[in-house]
Amino acid sequence: MIKAKSTQIRALYMAFMLLLGTSTIAFAQYGMDALDIAKLQNVGTSVISPNGNTVAYTLIVPADPLEENVRASVHLYVYDIRSGETSALLTDGNVGNLQFRPEHGTISFTARRSGDNTNALYEISTEGGEPTRLHSHETAIRSYTWANDGNHIIYIANEILDLPESTLPYQPVLFEENIPNAKTYIQNVTREDHQPHLIDIPGTAHMAVFNADRSKIAISVAPTPNIDDQFMFQQIHIVDYRSREVVAKIDNKGKLGEMHWSPDGTRLALRAGHDINDPIDGRLMIVSAEGGTPRNILPEFKGKFEQLRWSDDNTIHFLASKGVWRIFGTVNPNGSQFNRIIDRGAPIMTNFSVGNDGTIAFTANTSKHPAEVYVFQDGMLERGTNSNEWLADKELGRQEVVTYTARDGEFDIEGLLIYPLDYTEGQTFPLITVVHGGPEAHYSNGWLTAHSMPGHQGAAEGFFVFYPNYRGSTGRGMEFIYSSQADLAGKEFDDVVDGVDYLIERGLVDTDRVGVTGGSYGGYATAWMSTYYSERFAAGVMSVGISNNISKWGTSDIPEELYLVHSRKRLWDDWMDKLQRSPIYYVDRAQTPLLIMHGEDDTRVHPAQSLELFRHIKVRKPEVPLRLVLYPGEGHGNARSTSRYDYNLRMIEWFNTYLK
């Protein structure tokens, strides 16, 4: 019965594709289409075994969107470096928090398996077999780290609130109340019936890690469970293992992404913000474990640190973004001896782990394939896995790095451009401009195709697809990222238009057939281009975007971050400025056909932001083609298979309709 229903749905899909126009069918025969994107698998994270022989990794496997609307599954695989073979260990359910257990050689992970009420800690042999449950908690184990002895873990789990039961036949929601804090626990997993030890620091814990000899623990704690506090106000505490008392505090300010003990236990390396106003946790900071203020050891580095690990007491391995590329290397903790081991031009590495023999495993992607496992040995970086073999039969668009000068001459702006499959020199083509969110994010020169990013699908449909890294993007150092603060929708979005002009001047793009899309802050840009800059854009697809900066502040879950790293001025100190930086203020200019899509459960950008823009355009400019699509159960971006697929179909059809 299910198979028959699936066949019917696929037939309806093909009929729908026929309605999109003959160009869609013609290109889909050799390029990527919506169903191709829906079935893409990719490696999530990878970790190498201490002996350097095996890489454990997670494979993200999406559900068939024509059969069920659910999130992708996360499976566990191993890659044998010596034989080159890949084996599946667990393909039911979802695994997370992948690590190798010290002194045991087994793989540990969290999962909710049969008999579990919530996520528990498991281990499994690299050879496979049935996983063994090592520890469970009354609430989900959110994260954990091993001590070097391989017996003790420190983990984070939510506390249980003792709340009175309602005497009414329903339970109202008390907004931002009765949210449990996350607490830190120590457990020896080798002792049966051992009760975990609570480290009761007020607030919500987010990270916890032992030092090498297990005498101290570093724990980061935010004052409340609210997302704003997690983003902006985590504080590092140093705790004595035996007494479980706080013995030192680190005076870190702003965003915090990682913390690692030096092998001798005297210092911590942090991936964190330079100060409270830094939009990202992308600086390499060093601080004494006795307390004090972290020091940015490379303040002039024009990039963003993505991951850190100590190699020895005087060496730190790092992975960093440098423009549209990634680099990997080492640096001394005083900032000297900055050594690039893998330089620009390599695959886009997203995480790494180092074996005791010096072998390094990476998760990485390129313009031709999504994330896979790579291994670095003897000076060579080679791909080990191939999760989408069928991609070899698809023709993909040429991808190149473009650089142009902003109109004010202050910066050279980088971007990425994917060519249409039927590109002919001297002929102009329609363009889809894809604006990233954040704005503290950037596009790397890797895989740029997803349900919300046209990429190679757009190339198959006959579009140029352009990804600009406007000012305020990451990967270019502190001056570049701070330059967009206190100038919402100003020079940052002018940079996007300047990129479009650059492509037009090169004779690539048809001036009258330019589209724009993006999500979150990219949705804000799409709304801005469809109102303030509407005469320049012939189609827009806006996702979870901002339309009114006044009501945005009052409905978002990150008001302090908005102030500290974006606007730099309180809303009530300049109401008119916030209104004039809102797309609704320029609806009188609107002439761009606009498709608006939003998750009904979005707490970051409330769906009312989309409704406001829809209503203003609908009433004031009824002649403008307009549609608002709301996705039940989705938040700040679609996460489920069918809602992603639906989004993709609507997006590409909108551009086919209004740019062709």
Q: What is the pLDDT of residue 471?
A: 97
pLDDT average per 10 residues of sequence, the chain (660 residues): 44 47 47 97 98 97 97 98 97 95 97 95 97 97 98 97 86 89 97 93 98 98 97 98 97 98 98 98 98 98 98 98 98 97 97 97 98 97 98 97 97 98 96 97 98 98 98 97 96 98 98 98 98 98 98 95 95 95 98 98 97 98 98 97 98 97
d(CA 599, CA 638): 7
Q: In angstroms, what CA-CA distances link 579 with 385, 449, 487, 529, 548?
A: 50, 34, 13, 16, 7
Q: In angstroms, what CA-CA distances link 239 with 218, 222, 236?
A: 6, 16, 10
443, 460, 514: which is closest to 37 by C-alpha?
Answer: 460
d(CA 654, CA 638): 18
Q: Which amino acid is at 72?
A: A
Whole-model pTM: value is: 0.94
Q: What is the pLDDT of residue 171?
A: 83
Q: Please check whether residue 95 is in contact with residue 44, taking contact to mean a CB–CB distance below 8 angstroms.
A: no
Q: In angstroms, what CA-CA distances link 261 with 151, 211, 317, 374, 629?
A: 19, 6, 13, 26, 48
CATH of region 199-346: 2.130.10.10
Query: Which helix or strand (DSSP H or E) is residue 252 part of?
Result: none
> In this structure, which topology does domain 395-659 adopt according to CATH?
Rossmann fold (3.40.50)
Q: What is the pLDDT of residue 578?
A: 96
Strands (E) located in 420-550? 429-435, 464-469, 509-519, 539-543
Q: What is the pLDDT of residue 193?
A: 86
Quick: pLDDT tens for 117-149: 999 999 999 999 999 999 999 999 999 999 999
Q: In sequence order, what are the residues at sequence separation of 6 or more whose Cβ sits closer than 8 angstroms to the Cβ of residue 379?
A: none
Query: 542 forms bridges with which residues in the sheet?
Result: 518, 596
Are 199-346 and 395-659 equal in CATH topology? Answer: no
Q: Beta-carbon neighbour count of residue 58 at 10 Å?
A: 24
Q: In angstroms, what CA-CA distances link 86 with 58, 350, 594?
A: 12, 20, 45
Residue in the block written with tokens 């451009």: 417
Number of H-type helices and E-type strands within the chain: 13, 36
Q: HSE-up of 25 (CA within 13 Å, CB side)?
A: 10
Q: What is the pLDDT of residue 1?
A: 36
Q: What is the pLDDT of residue 28?
A: 43
Q: In sequence order, what are the residues at sequence separation of 6 or more whose Cβ sits closer than 8 angstroms to the Cβ of residue 590?
A: 530, 531, 534, 617, 620, 621, 624
d(CA 105, CA 82): 17
Query: What are the residue ranges spanned by the domains of the chain?
Result: 199-346, 395-659
Quick: pLDDT tens for 264-307: 999 999 999 999 999 999 999 999 999 999 999 999 999 999 99
Return the SS3 of 381.
strand
Q: What is the pLDDT of residue 167?
A: 83
Residue in the block written with tokens 């993709």: 648
